Structure 1
Amino acid sequence: MRIISGEYKGRKITAPKKLPVRPTTDMAKEALFNIINNQYYFDSITVLDLFSGTGNISYEFASRGTQQITCVDQDYGCIKFINETAKSFNMPLQTIKSDVFKFLEKTTQKATIIFADPPYDFSLELFAKIPELVFNNDLLEAQGTLIVEHSKHTDLSSLKNYSYSKSYGGNMFSFFEIEENTTLEEE
């Protein structure tokens, strides 16, 4: 995998083969960051990277100037690899070794962007639990976005707070946003 843009553009990162991961492809990552780039200033957002695996997405945010990035993964090898990589690049990543669902149940940490890349073989019920916990626990900042990566064979459009999806090859990103509860009063 490589960092696509920013301070560390072009740097290659090689994760140990033994890690239980499926990094986001460069093509899908580039498309995702083009969308994010049109909505946010990277140096003024906070990011929560769930099921962070190799840290691929977090490195991209850090390379583009994001200073507050938290990576959550339950695998010790993944957390160790992220810590080592972040240290070698001097990136401001914080890591938390935890089951993502338990973390979401207990945390009060808000983020502008919450990115989740769970295993593609999750059931729809497990996928649904991610936005449910994020929105029920008020973890998104105002104007924030939850992005869930999944297989093109999984449809998350029926979930609460779903906004839209984008497909890139076999990868799909579903975007979830806080629903505006504004009603116009007629006079």
Structure 2
Amino acid sequence: MSRIIAGAAGGTPLVSVPGSLTRPTTDRVKEALFSRLDAFEVIADARVLDLYAGSGSLGVESASRGARTVDLVEFDGKASEVCQRNADLVNSVAGRKTVSVHRSKVESFLDRAAAETAWDLVLLDPPYPLDEVALAAVLAKLLPHLAGGAVVVVERSARTPEPSWPEGMERFAEKKYGETRLWFAEPGVDTQAESEAGEPAETEESRG
């Protein structure tokens, strides 16, 4: 059974999506991922977006660890219901609505996002059948909605190639855990400067 690993709701069991509708991130990979994100100091007070959320495990883990807001995006009806149940668990602990669930295709959600919407941490765990061209298109739609200093994490099969990053998004690290590979990317300096509306862009030289 999957659980929230740490934070205010640490140890809370999570509801799983029935059957094989989704490919959940294992607790081992999740623990390693969040250890690294904690080292980047990117979670506390962050605006988090969890795309292809499945059960919402990654997003609610972020909320438990101090994220300001979390948006879970999942199109499948059964999976989005599970997202809502897990969101309710964390929101009840927080005493406020930190986690919101959006039943939507990822592309449509990003198309509808307001121009000024910007996320600090974006987690993508797309289904294996999603091909590299489609993933590249999603990353391109995401780029205008990244805050300065944002981190983007893409979880893929270790057998798939590195994602095709759009111009203005740069990979700074990757890590393999068994059959899973995590890719870490961030907006380039020029993109960060634009997202800060004229304020100096910040860089995270300690990353990678």
Partner deviation per Cα, 1:56-75 (whole Å, 9 max, x = no partner): 10121111121300001111
What are the within-5 Å matches in structure 2 for residues 34-73 of structure 1? 34-73=35-74
The alignment's C-alpha RMSD in Å is 1.8
Partner deviation per Cα, 1:116-138 (whole Å, 9 max, x = no partner): 11102221111211211111xx1
Which stretch of the first structure deviates more once superposed, 142-151 or 16-25? 16-25
Using the TM superposition, give the Cα deviation of residue 156 of structure 1 relative to its aligned residue in structure 2, in angstroms: 1.9
> Equivalents in 2 of 1:16, 1:117: separation in Å?
15
Gaps of 5+ in 1: 183-187
Using the TM superposition, give the Cα deviation of residue 41 of structure 1 relative to its aligned residue in structure 2, in angstroms: 5.0
Q: Is the 8 A contact 1:71 1:96 kept in 2?
A: yes
Partner of residue 167 from structure 1, selected from 176, 180, 184: 176
Q: Is the 8 A contact 2:60 2:70 kept in 1?
A: no
What are the within-5 Å matches in structure 2 for residues 145-160 of structure 1? 145-156=151-162, 158-160=164-166
> Equivalents in 2 of 1:122, 1:157: separation in Å?
12
The residue aligned with 1:111 is: 119
TM-score, scaled relative to structure 2: 0.80
Quick one: percent identity of the two aligned structures?
27
Partner deviation per Cα, 1:75-127 (whole Å, 9 max, x = no partner): 12122112122223415210111110111122122100011111022211112
Work out the number of aligned pairs and report it. Answer: 180
Change (3 A) 1:81 1:114: same
The residue type paired with residue 99 of structure 1 is: K
